[in-house]
Amino acid sequence: LALLAIASVATQACSWLWLRSDPPALRPDVPQWLVAILHLLQLGFLFRCLHALRVGWKLCWEKAEEKEEQEQSRMAFLSHDISMLRLFETFLENTPQLTLLLYVILQTDKAEPSQGLGICTAFLCVTWSLLDYHKSLRSFLQDKYELSWHSSIVYFLWNLFLICPRILVVALFALLWPYSVAVHFPLVWLAMFLWVSLQGTDFMESPGPEQLYRAMVAVILYFSWFNVAQGRTLYRSIIYHGFILVDSTLLALSWLWCQSPSEEHSYLIPLVSAALPCYLLGLALRVAYYRWLHPNLQMQQEGGYDVVDANGRTDGLEFRSLSVPDLVNRRMQWLAQAQFPVSRTVGQRFPNGAAAL
């Protein structure tokens, strides 16, 4: 319960800090003190969802073309913030709960059909949050190519095949030594936090909140890949997946070493043995996605922009911005630069709310 409370407070704090740093055109027409009270009551995320629904409903009835474009851009900002907060909530609250539920079922050796259905649904929801985040971030770019249905399926599957073995081996490691996760998680989290810090993220407006963001990203990295830095991600991805593969393999081998085939959990041995092939299949699907299904490949074929060079520089993609006034959300700008190749002119650093185009 303490961990859930900490995760909820961290998520609400991020939401409040984002709202304070947003330009006036992106803020809801609500007194700031009331928004602060809602976040203090842990209702900030719900408030954001209701505000986005209100803006979306208004957009459906807009007639003026210029006004409609402005509201569409505003809606892109709002939906992305919601998507990212959902991602934080998923990995800070839901994924640890899923691991705990899996541990309890394995410990008691009893599972109701509803629990099995709940576990399967939770795995799908965790993976869906990653796909939703990626799609919402791509909507931040002008003249972008959206994910096709087959690209979305492969993106969803490779994340699913990478996350499932990770959560399984963590639950099995906790089953073997119940208090060992209390040592393993802080050590891996600290390694991920230092790794994120070395990449020099510049997401929040000040150093204090930036440390909070890095700490939350480190939790995500404990379970799944999450890109936070600009430039080419190939080598960073290889380092990350290599580390997680070695760590997960050690967790699985420690369980197999101490688990006798005659014991009651022997049925899990084939499942654990299939975890490594499942993870490798996820990596193979990821390679296939970036090799043949990534939307950028279609843009290159049609001459939309140049291929990224070794320094991560390219030309052609522009940020979606608010037309009146001409504003760009620096937080979104940083994430888009980390995920997609953008032009050097747009890639310059501006304070949140400064003119960028």
Band of residue 29 on the pLDDT scale cut at 50, 70, 90: confident
Residue 143 has pLDDT above 70, yes or no: no
Band of residue 68 on the pLDDT scale cut at 50, 70, 90: low
| Residue 111 counted as domain residue | yes
| Residue 180 counted as domain residue | yes
Residue 272 has pLDDT above 50, yes or no: yes
Contact 172, 252 (CB under 8 A): yes
Residue 357 has pLDDT above 90, yes or no: no
Higher-pLDDT residue of 113, 316: 113
Q: What's the structural domain count of the chain?
A: 1
Cis peptide before 325 (omega within 30 of 0): yes
Could you give the CA distance from residue 306 to residue 230 in angstroms, rounded to a whole number? Answer: 17
Region of poorest pLDDT, from 24-38, 123-137, 172-186, 337-351: 337-351
| Residue 301 counted as domain residue | no
Structure confidence at residue 342 (pLDDT): 47
Identity of the highest mean pLDDT range in 84-98, 196-210, 262-276, 308-322? 84-98
3-class DSSP state of 318: strand
Q: How many C-beta atoms surround the C-beta of residue 220 within 10 A?
A: 20
| Residue 98 counted as domain residue | yes
Tell me the CA end-to-end span of the chain in Å, nearest whole number: 46
| Residue 189 counted as domain residue | yes
Which pTM does this prediction carry? 0.85
| Residue 70 counted as domain residue | no
Span 298-324, pLDDT tens digits? 665 555 443 333 333 333 445 555 444
What's the chain's average pLDDT? 80
Residues 181, 183, 184, 188, CA torsion sign: positive
Residue 234 has pLDDT above 80, yes or no: yes
Residue ranges with strand state E in the chain:
141-142, 318-319
Nearest to 343 by CA among 323, 325, 311, 317: 317
Contact 278, 200 (CB under 8 A): no
Structure confidence at residue 343 (pLDDT): 41
| Average pLDDT value for residue range 204-220 | 91
| Residue 12 counted as domain residue | no
- Cα separations in angstroms, 105 against 112, 230, 315: 9, 41, 52
3-class DSSP state of 244: helix
Percent of the chain scored above 90 by pLDDT? 38
Span 280-297, pLDDT tens digits? 999 999 999 888 887 766
| Residue 65 counted as domain residue | no
Full domain range(s) for residue 239? 85-257+268-295
Angle at 67 between CA 64 and CA 72, to 5 degrees: 120
